[in-house]
Structure 1
């Protein structure tokens, strides 16, 4: 398997601008960098840590490439010579997507210079992710991956001195608790950010709690997920009046006594005054001041010239009794000295959502902005995991170019996690660029899929097929299934447990064609034809499709493996398509399987009731689509704040979407079908809002598959569309949302846990990110109503028994957040964009609800991958294979499996793989599934034998036994609560090795624990 260095070399063979990459550096250990490289401080003074930095958005107003070639390359070109001149100078860099590109273009001499600066701690990498990811619209799997991508570049390029020690989320629009937990498990010693709610910040400033210990997983992981967290005083800008970039208008230092405009004394006075104000808000004699901003230091000499003078003249005041000492520093050096002060800090156990920067500017709109892009990012991440797994299972070699192809998608995904990418807060041209990068990456990754599945098929005696892909199945488009009389469908399951998947394939059908489906064992599988919904036909992107029906069948999923189904057609009518029946015919319509029934009113067509047949729980529930008219304004004053890509500011309560004024019924075009495989109710709320409610055999959820758009704007008002479930449950103003797809947080209307909250926007101020699920509970009835999403959305529960999720937005005003574009997406036809997605609804007793939503949440973000081929053998014969010898326990998820450069010792006769196993239940969620789980690695995989293993930190760039995080003082109410089972294991067994029992590798996982390993593997002899 090619290492990343080899990958970069291969890239340079294509890109003639690359020079000097073949140089191999002798990395120093971390004794010359790290905390030992910090500039000295003066213990009896207030030490101001001057941090030169640039914040380089990986796309926003311009595309990634435009930013790099127009600005970023000049920043790095300019900073490096300045650092060379003066050993005391420091600079931090963050976005590895840019730095890796710049570094690949440098000559040998510059590479050596950069290596020396890194080794001496003068150039320090902070955060280390491919981008500075968003926190409100991201999934934990993608967050970990994009950081691991950056970490691996730094590890291979700079060794230990390249390892980041600090999280730096300075520009994200609110902060998730899971992000803090992830950073702690990366081994970071601290986290700094700039944005938090204006009321929260004022409260912290007045109570001297701008720094705290954030408990990222207080009820599950304990201290291993705690991290020291600081709020930066000026967002991430310099103190007012002290910006010295060429784009700034602040007055530089004039210190030539021969001139009339000498301003040294007034400049020093102003700075000391600013530091005196800042000192009132922090607890130690160390202050941090950020010197830089967006894309600054293109002319680094301007900055450093004035910073040199600032440091010189402020420190000169010490001879007159001043107690302020300035020094060039970094966030990690600041962390180190604050830690040495030994103060005791308050804690925080919730998150920093939602974020408002004034009383009418709640940045809760971006939770749902650009829903199509959000959905695409989630699916692209799904496919990235698939190809990494297949590449590892097939053990593809350098000659397959799999590393190169996979990294095109991995880098595109890393860019897409940026806080102006998946967030939806970029300009339209930039959003298009993100989507194009993902599409290119998926195309390249498909080559890896093809190579891997063919190699596995040949190795295991299966049919070797050429695989094709249908990337528009979500809108019922697939040329091979529409035009071929026979074809094969390969279903790859990236979850290491069996399961069921209902496959929908668009087919052409003219009442003379019948289809049969054959399973991998050669036996016929029950299938049926259902009509493609009218709401699908109105999507302009499917204009070339001839399909009128979908062929639906149930596929049995092989654990971490594939199964192939054969579809044949002929001209003999054996079974006609399932007939449509009018939905509103007087009698209620009921969809029912062995677990669930849902009833629809026979007069209005609306959802009426839901029953869990297994547990004998029944509730009244309705579902409708509403819209908020968006507030328009010029943003000149807080009261004129408009709703936009970032902000959500509705102009009043939501309005139901109907066929017309006062029309409460659905369109007469609404219908239902009841087949053997799937039952479906099609609802038309208006010409621009339709939905299919589906119930499949053997499933414990109901799928609400919605299609929304084009959102009408002829009335001159932007609109924000929500799906609202109204139930008969009493949740007492309380609801629950997930944090980046993992742990669940309790939410309460108009309430914040750590500060007195005055909600000036009663709707927007109660919106929270929903990355995976939202639910309400009736504690008296012990019933839980859960809605899972297929992408990140904003959600809330504004009234008793309600769940509300925002699915689409189309706006006509800008919200004053710099992009200078209204969020008005259009489709291929130039009209408003049509978006479709799904909500998955479950009804359970509280005691057993987690088993359903945890399992389904995993299956949604790790959905099976479908590929298509033309048959070459007997239908379905011997076409199934599993990559595991035995399925993982029901509470364990295979989060990562990929070929990987060695982060630890790797015997030459074996290959190093990266493996992450995750216990995906919380403590107390389920009486059985919340218990610890044990996995035997040696008996797990069928494609290879595990010959050795060593435990790494979560980012995969450091042996766990080498981790030595700074310890902080903070109160905790009970030592037993603080030290959970997993924390006790973590603290007592940090040896970097796995427990060995009877010469086998045994891994134990505790609730919410992710354990990361480098496993050394050897192919199984066939």
Structure 2
């Protein structure tokens, strides 16, 4: 039996040669027709024809593209693109923007060469403009920055290679995500975008910004990158992403067309023009320049583009005709980049923003903070899939060369991961059958990736033995080890009753084998396990609550690490100590369900229920699931466990591995009971002696940390109407609370929602099962079941807790969070090792400095590789690791000789030294330290 443990993978000898890629950058100028020119000294109204095409939501990606299942929603993206191209050709003044490359790529591949040339001409003339340009419009709360960068790179690469410089988007366009992350803005800035437009904004924030004319602003999206590196002009669209009221002319709309025959009784041109001018003037009052933007389109519109364009042509004509009588309003077909260019030419100063746009609420009791946790199993599967793609498929393809690409491996796993970043995918806000489709795509992509992994490891190790992949190890299921090892002989760690209940009949292992392993950076290690006549001593099992458990460094001269105490009467945690730093905090932890009780809408203040999007508790007091926990403790030389049972549907393992500086809490929740006709939102809460003074910290898309304060917003005076839901924030990989002495950090294994409702506490929502739809469009309650769990979904996950001194805590929790996001892969093979098998390998000559993380190593084309290195510490986090770092690329890889390096922007679609962006002047602002983050492209 051979166990292969893989971290950031390995390589065989290759040489990299120089290749040249020509990527044009700079401001593009397009010829403008008569109806597309702004006019000085007038109010210029920029009409932007667009469609918002979700890459899955109520229907699957395939159903949306083909127009299938119109009984669910009438939508067919292929017909939209067909119709728009046809209508653009009929009038050179017309414009259209398109966003989702996943759909456009599919449509493009089906077109004839003559049609492709026609579309290229439209793009070159600026009549068809791509905005955003990623594979999808990603969610901003529940996505990890590494996956977002990948999906943006995939979409932008296709546009760049297909259309050249005219196809490169200049504007980021996130009109539908439900709140906006600072790290997304930082990434967009580093990808070379000139500006960013979105539609959804907290209702109180919007009211304040309308009053102060700050709906267009400069977002300083990093406290570590030197301005303007992460500065991004940001515009808030006036109508979300819909047309003004009364001006929707799609086949899905009910507004009357423009009837311009004066001989007809129902002639309405005068009324249409009057209403339009009133809307334009009222909008101009709350924006700063003599240019305003109007989005003319909405969800899956323009399937019959003639309806839209015929009426827009008339609207432009009749409004502009009034200029002869002194009107100062000029209407034109436009695009976001044309609009942005006019704002830049205005040469004004703009309000500065340095926090983010979370949480988002569209009314006093309607906070969109439930989706931070919705569909927790899908959220975990997406995170595992990202790890598999990054740590194995991408890196192994580079390091093992052409030998890895024998077989069916292709782009399927990358496209599946890219689609999963969509704002109705990993967010958990889709219909159940669509969530199933996302999971199916991820599974299919991983199956194809396994072929590449097996080929690569065979080439690198010299062993051609068949490799097996056990995807259910978290519930102790691996058919190969169960059938070939009589692990009952070992009696190492018995499988818990909770695990046996979760796995049902999918596995029958009695014990788990636990031993410490180490894998070299960018490499692999192979372990062989054999049966011995006299195995290790059996695990010590006690059916009483231990007073304490603690672990130690295996080096005998170094101090012990962690000590955890338990209340013998309740079985609950009572304290946590870091024995290295001589810290101890009081720490109690328990599980609750909410009144926060998954509101059914019967509330005196509001009838809004909780649902896939909305978190709407009825009360600020949660229901305690149990005051006590039944316990069982397991002790071996490698691990100590205290297994806790709080209810038939809630259990946990408190686990300390030897030589680990983090306490692991492995929770299992479900099926959430609904016999009382109440849906439930389940949280775990950590109550500590740390004096937080209402402050706590959460990450932004897994990268920089942001300070939060209960019942507070940095840019407006908050009127708090939901003291629980209004204080929940997305936790993508970690959160912490601290005072001057102690910092408790919690690392999560998926995106979850949480907050610090009480001083000294940190709570995280783990699972949601709801019985009502929240009336935000999905049209069904968030009530997940499956064939295995017909009575309700069971979810298992991990929280890792670390206790440190605040000045140095980041030195521990940042690498820990990266390890959880990009976890090693275990593969298994049955049989003896070949004598010439290479048991261990590292693709690096030495480990990278602690401050540097290898973010991307992936094959770009046949002869070139894309490499991204990042400085992973913020400027204020660490006295040691926040300093600039230099990496010698020539000496980085053990078997790769780097002959040429060219630096690109973050999305790898422009040379870095040719990337030009608009400069914007803030009203106020201060400089920040440079973190010296650089992203490299290796040419070969």
1:675 aligns with 2:636: yes
Shift of 1:632: 3.7
Aligned to 2:17: none
Q: Contact between 2:601 and 2:610, CA under 8 Å: does it hold in 1? A: no
**Distance change (3 Å), C-alpha of 1:861 and 1:32:** closer
1:644 aligns with 2:596: no
Aligned to 2:867: 915
Aligned to 1:709: 670
Whole-angstrom distance in 2 between the partners of 1:635 and 1:259 = 51
3-state DSSP class of the match of 1:610? strand
1:924 aligns with 2:876: yes
Task: Select which of 505, 530, 534 maps to 2:493.
Answer: 530
1:392 aligns with 2:398: yes
Shift of 1:467: 1.5
Can you list the C-alpha shifts for 1:900-920, whole angstroms capped at 9, x where unaligned? Answer: 04xxxxxxxx92110000000
3-state DSSP class of the match of 1:598? strand
Q: Contact between 1:238 and 1:291, CA under 8 Å: does it hold in 2? A: yes
Whole-angstrom distance in 1 between the partners of 2:922 and 2:227 = 13
Q: Contact between 2:600 and 2:771, CA under 8 Å: does it hold in 1? A: no
Whole-angstrom distance in 2 between the partners of 1:436 and 1:560 = 29
Whole-angstrom distance in 2 between the partners of 1:646 and 1:971 = 35
Task: Select which of 417, 431, 454 maps to 1:450.
Answer: 454
**Distance change (3 Å), C-alpha of 1:771 and 1:195:** same
Aligned to 1:467: 467
Aligned to 2:240: 235
Whole-angstrom distance in 1 between the partners of 2:371 and 2:836 = 46
Aligned to 2:681: 720
Whole-angstrom distance in 2 between the partners of 1:151 and 1:948 = 24
Q: Contact between 2:599 and 2:617, CA under 8 Å: does it hold in 1? A: no
Shift of 1:574: 2.5
Whole-angstrom distance in 2 between the partners of 1:116 and 1:307 = 23
1:851 aligns with 2:851: no
Correspondences of 1:39-118 after superposition (within 5 Å):
39-70=36-67, 71-118=76-123
Aligned to 1:1013: 936
Aligned to 2:585: 619
Correspondences of 1:863-878 after superposition (within 5 Å):
863-873=823-833, 878=838
Shift of 1:398: 9.3
Could you say what the CA RMSD is over the residues aligned between the two structures, in angstroms?
1.9
Aligned to 1:407: 411
**Distance change (3 Å), C-alpha of 1:637 and 1:237:** farther
Aligned to 1:833: 793
Shift of 1:33: 5.2
Correspondences of 1:679-758 after superposition (within 5 Å):
679-758=640-719
1:602 aligns with 2:568: yes
Per the normalisation by structure 1, the TM-score is 0.86
Whole-angstrom distance in 1 between the partners of 2:481 and 2:789 = 25
Shift of 1:724: 0.4
Q: Provide the aligned length of Structure 1 versus Structure 2.
A: 900
Task: Select which of 767, 782, 785 maps to 1:808.
Answer: 767
Whole-angstrom distance in 2 between the partners of 1:689 and 1:657 = 12
Whole-angstrom distance in 2 between the partners of 1:643 and 1:627 = 13
1:784 aligns with 2:726: no
Q: Contact between 1:564 and 1:876, CA under 8 Å: does it hold in 2? A: no
3-state DSSP class of the match of 1:171? coil
Aligned to 1:1001: none
Whole-angstrom distance in 2 between the partners of 1:450 and 1:127 = 36
Task: Select which of 609, 620, 637 maps to 1:653.
Answer: 620
Aligned to 2:480: 480
Can you list the C-alpha shifts for 1:225-250, whole angstroms capped at 9, x where unaligned? Answer: 00000000000000000000001000
Whole-angstrom distance in 2 between the partners of 1:787 and 1:78 = 51
Whole-angstrom distance in 2 between the partners of 1:926 and 1:37 = 52
Can you list the C-alpha shifts for 1:92-112, whole angstroms capped at 9, x where unaligned? Answer: 000011000000011111111
Task: Select which of 731, 748, 759 maps to 1:770.
Answer: 731
Correspondences of 1:882-921 after superposition (within 5 Å):
882-901=842-861, 911-921=863-873
1:666 aligns with 2:629: yes
3-state DSSP class of the match of 2:361? coil
Shift of 1:650: 1.1
3-state DSSP class of the match of 1:897? strand
Whole-angstrom distance in 1 between the partners of 2:303 and 2:432 = 26
Q: Contact between 1:368 and 1:806, CA under 8 Å: does it hold in 2? A: yes
3-state DSSP class of the match of 1:684? strand
Aligned to 1:429: 433
Aligned to 1:820: 779
Shift of 1:844: 0.6
Aligned to 2:548: 589
Shift of 1:750: 0.5
Can you list the C-alpha shifts for 1:585-635, whole angstroms capped at 9, x where unaligned? Answer: xx6233333211101112211001110100000011100011103354469
Shift of 1:426: 0.4
Q: Contact between 2:664 and 2:801, CA under 8 Å: does it hold in 1? A: yes
Task: Select which of 417, 420, 432 maps to 2:421.
Answer: 417
Whole-angstrom distance in 2 between the partners of 1:344 and 1:941 = 47
Whole-angstrom distance in 2 between the partners of 1:767 and 1:276 = 37
**Distance change (3 Å), C-alpha of 1:269 and 1:843:** same
Whole-angstrom distance in 2 between the partners of 1:776 and 1:412 = 36
**Distance change (3 Å), C-alpha of 1:72 and 1:973:** closer
Shift of 1:37: 5.9
Task: Select which of 907, 921, 926 maps to 1:969.
Answer: 921
Shift of 1:656: 4.5
Q: Contact between 2:549 and 2:640, CA under 8 Å: does it hold in 1? A: no
Whole-angstrom distance in 1 between the partners of 2:153 and 2:260 = 47
Q: Contact between 2:565 and 2:575, CA under 8 Å: does it hold in 1? A: yes
Task: Select which of 188, 191, 195 maps to 1:186.
Answer: 191
Task: Select which of 513, 521, 535 maps to 1:551.
Answer: 513
Whole-angstrom distance in 2 between the partners of 1:484 and 1:28 = 55
**Distance change (3 Å), C-alpha of 1:637 and 1:406:** farther
Whole-angstrom distance in 2 between the partners of 1:548 and 1:764 = 42
Gaps of 5+ in 2: 1-20, 68-75, 553-559
Aligned to 1:568: 530
**Distance change (3 Å), C-alpha of 1:126 and 1:279:** same
Aligned to 1:521: none
Higher relative contact order (CA 8 A, sep 6+): 2
Shift of 1:871: 2.7
3-state DSSP class of the match of 2:581? coil
3-state DSSP class of the match of 2:281? helix
Q: Contact between 2:24 and 2:910, CA under 8 Å: does it hold in 1? A: no
Q: Contact between 2:671 and 2:789, CA under 8 Å: does it hold in 1? A: no
Q: Contact between 1:359 and 1:638, CA under 8 Å: does it hold in 2? A: no
Whole-angstrom distance in 2 between the partners of 1:398 and 1:772 = 31
3-state DSSP class of the match of 2:308? helix
Aligned to 2:302: 297
**Distance change (3 Å), C-alpha of 1:30 and 1:746:** closer
Whole-angstrom distance in 2 between the partners of 1:878 and 1:446 = 20
Whole-angstrom distance in 2 between the partners of 1:879 and 1:236 = 56
Whole-angstrom distance in 1 between the partners of 2:899 and 2:397 = 19
Per the normalisation by structure 2, the TM-score is 0.93
Whole-angstrom distance in 1 between the partners of 2:621 and 2:461 = 54
Whole-angstrom distance in 2 between the partners of 1:109 and 1:35 = 23
3-state DSSP class of the match of 1:295? coil
